[in-house]
Amino acid sequence: DAGVTQSPTHLIKTRGQQVTLRCSPKSGHDTVSWYQQALGQGPQFIFQYYEEEERQRGNFPDRFSGHQFPNYSSELNVNALLLGDSALYLCASNCWGLAVSGDTQYFGPGTRLTVL
């Protein structure tokens, strides 16, 4: 049973560039959420995708956009990168609907983005 996978593991970009991060959800899951985790902080919710639509969004600018594909995988795109975008980007997946005990959001290993 494959867990949540993310690619790439590490990425280095310069200010102003654009980046695309990828996520494949856990087998059987149809909902993908993206989080940004700055060093020493807890993850911050960016947005969530279900049925190829953005369902919820956190307090992030429009430079952050996403997409979900028919196979439930997802991409996170960040345009016009800033130094402050340097962080660990986490993808989490779950089944849409009520949170059944133990069937919560499962996280991938993350993509470490460094903006120079």
Partner 1 sequence: GESVGLHLPTLSVQEGDNSIINCAYSNSASDYFIWYKQESGKGPQFIIDIRSNMDKRQGQRVTVLLNKTVKHLSLQIAATQPGDSAVYFCAENFLQVLDKLIFGTGTRLQVFP
Q: Report the C-alpha gap between 7 and 21 in whole angstroms.
A: 6
Select 18 or 55, whichever has its Cβ closest to partner 1. 55
State the nearest-atom distance from the C-beta of 15 to partner 1, in Å: 25
CB 43 within 8 A of CB 35: yes
Q: Report the C-alpha gap between 35 and 33 in whole angstroms.
A: 7
Select 64 or 107, whichever has its Cβ closest to partner 1. 107
Interface ranges with partner 1 (CB under 8 A) = 4, 31, 33, 35, 40-45, 48, 55-56, 58, 90, 92, 94, 96-99, 101-102, 104-110
Select 15 or 47, whichever has its Cβ closest to partner 1. 47
Tokens of 57: 């969004």
